[in-house]
Structure 1
């Protein structure tokens, strides 16, 4: 088995550059960015470290190979030629899932069946068996076709990386943890700056900010499917987890506040903050956005207000955005960052954003409106 592996960190559209930066910050180079994915070369230890540390990626996949295929024969032969038995143990479960976009081979069930058959044939040769029981660790294979280019990968993550383990309970339209972390990173928030989310809902933005602020690895309190793989020793996982504890800055003080008009969702936010073990770092309070005020001269507002996507909500949301404009602009030395799908946001808010970025919240196309306030003066040390 080779010491070097190719890994793919998958990303929501618009977040690829942030995921790539996170990968580089972990010390991995040879990073290639494409739509929806970041590919890089690393060692087996990287499977542990990237799963534990990546805040904005969806999952980490092990790349087995890629090639062009326009016929089922080609797909079969080229898949069979890959070194499956070097990665997948004899007793493993290896189901195949797939997707096909703009490719000659558009039938996903057929592609899945052919890849499964090719992997079995490849492994039969190595293990000298005719049949695999598939009762051991899970190696979920994905065959992805894009414009006839086939990429074959194995999932190392299990449930997506947005499942940090702290949010069993959610409000009606929760913001994914990975996107919340991206909004904070894009705002260039620094842990010594006050952060307020006046629409905090079940607490995702304040909780993710607390994890970032104390450099707590987002995957620290959950398990990953590759922890059962014989390819990666238990010691490797232990070492990677020990590193998360060594690098956490638990004594760093933070000023993070979340407010919401709905006491019911705030209860969820408090439970979630407790589960994430950041309840002492995040101040959550019931308060309408109209009453937002602070004595702090500088800070950042980061929020995900209602979008008015549902029938009958548009007028209410229009009113809310006008009110936000009045309330936020009173904090004229603050910066504010607002994500919404509403096409008229700037007009209603009454001010053009300093910068706008296209993102996706689930399947909803959104813009991230960034309003930059003046820089706080450097403190005299």
Structure 2
């Protein structure tokens, strides 16, 4: 593996938040970040691939685009797949899985295309082929081929498991929000950890928002506790990787991050997760209802909340209106100067808060549901 040559790196984003992920990539110093449908492209070599997995909070996974060629039929795909320098990045002792998607191309049978690429890898390199995705901890690397308008792009999935699995959040409450999406929502709300802004989540579940905000403020790397698929690639340099993991410093945040929930089990989960993440000293989780919420002392910051909504927890939507109304009243009365972000799939529930949300709001898919983040300016 040549660690000096540059190629295209694709950071997979939650659709609808590509520009937010692009801003993060720019802030982290990646070269030429460009938002495209479904993600962000940057230029770099393998060390940048490793760093992206380690440092990018909003990316779902990191793909290294290692080859691209035209293929108009299966025989041509077979021939050109054999020219890919597989030995530059794949090992003969690590199983390989091939996934193919076809769109607007003369090659339209993804299964047949996958067989051709599998055969090319097996015969040219000698690596074993597996049909199923490797389980957590098992050896195996995934090759993703996209055939779009007869152009075949070959990528290596350098992440393995989705990057929201950070390996320090074991306790999960019902209907949790993924850390990657939480990070993008926080950045969309203007929170990047550089200013001393407290974050409050009055329905914190397993603590994702306060923990994520505390990690950002402290400068903790999101991938610090887990392993990645790229560690099984040819030419992987453990010494360079360890230097990347050890770079940077952890800074004690100037403010604290707060979560509350009426469910005692949720608070126990949040505290345990904060302890595993190494941010328990900077987070405060308490059990109480929304109506008992009080703004913490200090400067105003951001209230961000992912309340229950009907389709998410199997609750009747009309039964939730009083909860949303109570949330809005509590915030309007006690959180002057704070900005508020509410995530829900029902516009009527957002309206029930009677909070002064701006027009529009970013809309994304979360767990198969279309949800919108509604954001206010500073409350009067």
Q: TM-score, normalised by structure 2?
A: 0.88
**Contact residue 89 and residue 233 of structure 2 kept, 8 A:** no
**Cα distance between partner residues in 1 of 2:59 and 2:183:** 10
Distance across 2 between alignment mates of 1:224 and 1:346? 39
**Structure 1 residues 364 and 147: alpha-carbon distance in aligned structure 2, compared to 1, 3 A threshold:** farther
Shift of the 164–104 alpha-carbon distance from structure 1 to 2, 3 Å rule, reads: same
- Extract unaligned runs of 5+ from structure 2: 131-137
User: Corresponding residue for 1:198?
Assistant: 202
Is 1:314 aligned to residue 317 of structure 2? yes
Q: 1:145/1:12 Cα in 2 relative to 1: closer, same or farther (>3 Å)? A: farther
Deviation (angstroms), 1:295: 5.4
Distance 1:86 1:265, change over 3 A: same
Check whether the contact 2:211–2:274 (CA below 8 A) recurs between aligned residues: yes
1:36-55 to 2 correspondences below 5 Å: 36-55=38-57
In the alignment, structure 1 residue 357 sits paired with structure 2 residue 362: yes
> Aligned pair in 2 of structure 1 residues 332, 163: CA closer, same or farther (>3 Å)?
same
Q: In structure 1, how many angstroms separate the alpha carbons of the residues matched to 2:294 and 2:17?
A: 32
Residue matched to 1:282: 283
- Give structure 1 stretches of 5+ with no counterpart: 124-130, 376-381
- Cα separation, 1, equivalents of 2:329 and 2:102: 48
Secondary structure of the corresponding residue to residue 280 of structure 2: coil
Task: Give the Å deviation of 1:299.
Answer: 2.1
SS of the aligned residue for 2:32 comes to coil
If the length of structure 1 is used for normalisation, what is the TM-score?
0.88
Equivalent residue runs for 1:115-264 within 5 Å: 115-123=117-125, 131-133=126-128, 138-189=140-191, 190=193, 191-243=195-247, 246-249=248-251, 251-264=252-265
Deviations along 1:261-319, one digit per CA (max 9) or x if unpaired, are: 11112111111111101111110000111111225462210111111115552122222
SS of residue paired to 2:267: helix
In the TM superposition, what is the alpha-carbon distance from 1:102 to its structure 2 partner? 5.0
Determine the structure 1 residue equivalent to 2:338.
Answer: 334
**d(CA) in 2 for partners of 1:234 and 1:115?**
29
Change (3 A) 1:268 1:146: farther
What CA distance in whole angstroms lies between the structure 2 residues aligned with 1:120 and 1:184? 44
Moved over 6 A (4+): none
Distance 2:305 2:149 in 1: 38
2:358 is aligned with 1:347? no
Contact 1:137–1:228 (CA under 8 A) maintained in structure 2: yes
C-alpha distance in 2 between matches for 1:302 and 1:91: 47
CA contact (8 A) 1:48 1:236 kept: no
Deviations along 1:7-31, one digit per CA (max 9) or x if unpaired, are: 2111111222222222222322133
1:126-169 residue CA offsets vs partner (Å, 9 max, x unmatched): xxxxx545799633211223454432111111211101111122
Q: Is the 8 A contact 1:325 1:350 kept in 2?
A: yes
CA offset digits 1:232-272 (Å, max 9, x no partner): 211111110111xx3321x3332211000111121111111
Equivalent position of 1:373 in the other structure: 378
Q: 2:168 aligns to what SS in structure 1?
A: coil
- 2:305 alignment partner, one of 297, 300, 303: 303
**CA distance 1:361–1:132, change in 2 (3 Å):** closer
Mapped to 2, the partners of 1:229 and 1:28 lie a distance apart of 22
Give the deviation of 1:53 after TM superposition.
Answer: 0.3
**Alignment root-mean-square deviation, CA:** 2.3
